[in-house]
Structure 1
């Protein structure tokens, strides 16, 4: 049942994107409307519930902070836990400053989207904080625990997609959040190596 529904939705999404390309509509709002037109809210309770749960994992960096606490408990990966927490803090500050100064409206504010599944500040859409913190943490965790990088990055991608599905960010805002988080994580590792003269050792 779920598998058949996913196939149907994928087919509709592909058709919507093709129509968009053929119409040559270079407008992010038009593209977003094309996407949500084939994923009507409220008609697929399973996906509504699924993405609500996934997005809750990213609220205030909850799941990433939880990972960090587990790492802090272990002597071997304590440094990694500290780096992830510092990464989350720095990324959050960056995002909140941008949200304050840019003040872009969310899709559900400027587009005819109903029902709205989550309650969010209406003028805090750019960039996506969930995407930023998720990719910041996922990149750092992937560096320290490369064996599990597919799981970390996969979770970050799912959280980013949940923000699109729930109509709280435009695609470009989610992408920018992911870029900010990834760059912040990379820069922290870079400066750590510059200051310490070596790569972080998790042992």
Structure 2
């Protein structure tokens, strides 16, 4: 296997923070560190990984509130999401306070991502797909060689992301799932932002919100 992935549930929302390790180089990326920094770093140590960057699917607090803390602590970079999510990052302190979340300062990533970009993790390459709907700047990361995708809150096992937040859009979300994700192949396993993993094929067959039987 070319990559190793450990999922660390963080925050009271049990958000799936992933640590992706390139097995050839030992370098790693942390996907969506929403909180519980010590728990994340314990998992990194168990994997014997050297973290070189943080990558963000979107800018909701449970996915990014610990990103800047880790960036400063580890002296690494943050890549993602797409720039349309900047307003979420600017208001991060307000959202945390409103939700009873630990305080997090507003921040900017070192690199905004766009559809068609790539992100490297050691010697591995992840494809970037802009998949708006849950948030306007949401991105998905695909590791083509191992048929695995990190989809944040776009798609879940048996469900889809909420679209009732500011700048959410249900039609955009369905278009992202059916127009961008499902065509990647039924055999793609995806790691959602919350809950268990599934495959695009299974969701095409059985997801009541976006299945082929609903839209076919």
Q: For this structure pair, what is the TM-score category when the shorter chain's length is used for normalisation?
A: under 0.3
Larger Rg: 1
Q: Which structure has the highest strand share of the two?
A: 2
